[in-house]
């Protein structure tokens, strides 16, 4: 698959993992317009994963270049010249990036080494889960700039950590470290350093490569669809997804392998 080439993103395929690195270390990987354009282009291409049973990768790791930051937020210098209409358009383009990440048929892991602030924390929240190095720090400091979260933080932070914790973080603009973020459920796992962080993310994708890709895609889609629904409505969606799983070759292969006491070789359709 041709992933394209980008001014502000570096891509590396490592076995079943696609490692995507936001590459503007001189500005702590801040989300300049060019980064947003590149993320839009890339996520557009990634939508093709799994089509026609072609699974070139089984998971994506999103990270930031350099030792200091995942992404230190929206690019504050570029924001300086924005009027309300341009600001809204900028926010909506990033909304599209985050929605596409959620719609991808493979899991996306945010590997946060250093600062994930404002738009950076929001970008991480659009990933399926967040791994962090011990020196990572998180925050939504928009109020300190007279702003409010604009890339999905008002919605996704509450979904991830609950309304009370999200309000405290957003209203104070406070920064929290990786251990604290782990304690409130923002971060799934904390690693000693950047190398261990990337190894951990790759190991999880290797684990994903052993199960059915159609089932993982179905589970991801279902979990997003049920978010915000009541229990009864959610169970309706789940029933449809469960039915759909039975239409896949993967489910037939998986069940047959279990009965034969063999390891399933999933065809990915």
Distances (CA, A) of 120 to 27, 162, 206, 217: 13, 19, 26, 25
By CB under 6 A, name the one of 1, 11, 40, 87 that touches ligand DAK.
87
Choose which of 35, 42, 57, 74 interacts with ligand DAK (CB under 6 A): 74
Question: Does the footprint of ligand DAK cover residue 99 (CB under 6 A)?
Answer: no
Residue choice 16, 38, 102, 142 for contact with ligand DAK (CB under 6 A): 142
Which residues 6+ apart lie within 8 Å of 248 measured at CB? Answer: 212, 214, 215, 218, 269
Is 142 designated active site?
yes
Interaction of residue 40 with ligand DAK, rule CB under 6 A: no
What is the rounded distance in angstroms from the CA atom of residue 59 to the CA atom of residue 69? 22
The token pair at 171 is: 């209203």
Handedness of CA 192, 194, 30, 61 (dihedral sign): negative
Nearest to 135 by CA among 110, 116, 153: 116
Helices and strands (DSSP H and E) totals, the chain: 11, 10
**Which CA distances in Å does 125 have to 50, 144, 223, 225?**
23, 20, 15, 16
Q: Which stretch binds ligand DAK (CB under 6 A): 48-56, 75-83, 217-225, 261-269?
A: 75-83
Between 202 and 241, how does the x/- string for binding to ligand DAK read (CB under 6 A)?
A: ----------------------------------------
Q: Is 150 in the site for ligand DAK (CB under 6 A)?
A: yes
User: Contact between 117 and ligand DAK (CB under 6 A)?
Assistant: yes
Query: Applying CB under 6 A, does 28 fall inside the site for ligand DAK?
Result: yes
HSE on the CB side for 88, CA within 13 Å? 2
Distance CA 212, CA 267 (A): 8
Residue 30 or residue 253: which is nearer to ligand DAK going by CB? Answer: 30
Find the shortest distance in angstroms from Cβ 12 to ligand DAK.
Answer: 24
Residue 115 touches ligand DAK, criterion: CB under 6 A:
yes
Positions marked active-site: 122, 142
Q: Provide the binding-site residues for ligand DAK, judged by CB under 6 A.
A: 27-28, 30, 72-77, 79, 87, 90-91, 115, 117-119, 141-142, 145, 147, 150-151
């Amino acid at each position: 698959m041709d992933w394209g080439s980008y001014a502000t993103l570096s891509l590396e395929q490592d076995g079943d993992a696609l490692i995507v690195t936001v590459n503007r270390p001189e500005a702590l990987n801040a989300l300049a317009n060019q980064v947003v354009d590149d993320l839009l282009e890339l996520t557009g291409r990634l939508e093709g994963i799994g089509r026609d049973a072609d699974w070139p990768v089984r998971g994506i790791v999103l990270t930031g270049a350099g030792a200091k930051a995942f992404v230190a937020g929206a690019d504050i210098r570029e924001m300086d010249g924005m009027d309300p209409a341009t600001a809204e358009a900028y926010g909506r383009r990033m909304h599209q990036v985050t929605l596409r990440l959620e719609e991808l048929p493979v899991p996306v892991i945010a590997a946060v080494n250093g600062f994930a602030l404002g738009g950076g924390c929001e970008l991480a929240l659009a990933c399926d889960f967040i791994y962090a190095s011990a020196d990572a720090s998180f925050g939504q400091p928009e109020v300190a700039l007279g702003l409010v979260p604009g890339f999905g933080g008002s919605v996704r932070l509450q979904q991830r950590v609950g309304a009370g914790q999200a309000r405290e973080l957003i209203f104070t603009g406070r920064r929290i470290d990786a251990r604290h973020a782990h304690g409130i459920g923002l971060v799934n796992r904390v690693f000693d350093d950047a190398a261990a962080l990337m190894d951990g993310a790759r190991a999880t994708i290797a684990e994903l490569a052993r199960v059915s890709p159609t089932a993982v895609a179905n589970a991801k889609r279902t979990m997003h669809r049920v978010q915000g629904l009541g229990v009864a409505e959610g169970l309706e969606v789940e029933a449809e997804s469960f039915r759909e799983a039975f239409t896949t070759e993967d489910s037939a292969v998986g069940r047959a392998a279990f009965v034969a006491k063999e390891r399933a070789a999933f065809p990915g359709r």
